[in-house]
Amino acid sequence: MRTTTLGTTDVRVTELSFGAAGIGNLFRPVTDEAASAAVEAAWDAGVRTFDTAPHYGLGLSERRLGAALRGRDRAAYTVSTKVGRLLEPRPEGGRGDDLAQGFAVPDTHRRVWDFSCDGVLRSLEASLDRLGLDRVDIALLHDPDDHAEQALTEAYPALERLRGEGVVRAIGIGVNQCALPARFLRETDIDVVLLAGRYTLLEQEGLAEVLPQAAARGRSVIVGGVFNSGLLTDPKPGAMYDYAPTPPHVLDRALRMKAVADRHAVPLRAAALRFPLGHPAVASVLSGARCAEEVRDTVDQMRRTIPAALWDELGTEGLPPHVPVPAAVPESWG
């Protein structure tokens, strides 16, 4: 699978990254066996970049990902995790579930926002323990939307220092909005932005500042949320869009896109996966999976060659208003 480096670092990422929120029981339970099989299927397909966070399943995602990668050559893969939420045990041990935060796990811990220097260090130490690793490659500030100043003045300098010491190899920010990563690109020396849901077939807000700034500064963007909460996998009434019911005008655009894709005999989800890779700042597309079947389907869609005529027709209809032509599928995809 094709790889590239992040920004000016030597951290290599594969064109497709494995998002591990799903194996942290996102929305519904996943067995240990299914989680392990999902990571195994990604590895067999050539995926070597894996993204997780303490937030995902109150640490379950990190524990499962670490277990699934155990025994593999540590130099052969890249792991990213995130800082900003510390996990503190509940004194009573938890009496319910974490579904209010989106994860089907017991609420044994509570999340505490902390973008202080000490919070960054404690978060990474706990993540390494859960992962069973001696290092992570990429550390990202996770959703600091309401904590921007502390993230800029305390958490970022801590990450910069850790990068300088070689404790982590790349640093950045992971968000689903554009204003804050644009500010970080202007004011800091981050290597990468993980941008979720803001550069997709439906949403190109990232084109205003984030992607142009990243390209101009030689930094990289990893694009997540390419299906906009699933709408672009199967647009229909009742589908979710950005974790909420889809507004009628958005559903109409998605259905029109599907009609174009159908005319070219291409699944809409295949076009959605490949679309971000047409921008020079985009190093990887991050897609989550909770089982081996989902991984194999994602890989199959990524292997498809998207005809230029499909992109041309989308552009002609203004769906979306800016359509780059993603590179052809490399021979290494098979």
Kindly report, residue by residue over 192-220, the tens digit of the pLDDT.
999 999 999 998 999 999 999 999 999 99
Distance CA 132, CA 18 (A): 18
pLDDT (0 to 100) of residue 322: 61
**Residues with active-site annotation:** 56
Identify whether the C-beta of residue 225 lies closer than 8 Å to the C-beta of residue 143: no
Instruction: End-to-end CA distance of the chain: give it in Å, rounded.
Output: 9
- Residue 129: helix, strand or coil by DSSP? helix
Contact 275/226 with Cβ under 8 angstroms? yes
What is the pLDDT, as a whole number, of residue 326? 61
Taking only the tens place, the pLDDT of each residue in 164-196 is 999 999 999 999 999 999 999 999 999 999 999
Q: What percent of the chain has pLDDT over 90?
A: 87
Q: Which of 158, 150, 136, 218 is nearest to 180 (CA)?
A: 150
Percent of residues, the chain, with pLDDT higher than 70: 96
| Bond before 181 cis per omega within 30 degrees | no
Q: What is the pLDDT averaged over residues 224-231?
A: 93
Give the Cα separation of 57 and 25 in Å (integer): 6
Q: HSE (CB half, 13 Å, CA atoms) of 242?
A: 13
pTM of the model: 0.94
Mean pLDDT of 24-42: 97
Contacts of 227 (CB under 8 A, 6+ apart): 200, 233, 269, 272
Q: Which residue has the higher pLDDT, 245 or 149?
A: 149
Give the tens place of pLDDT for each residue, 288-307: 999 999 999 999 999 999 99
Is 264 a residue whose pLDDT tops 60? yes
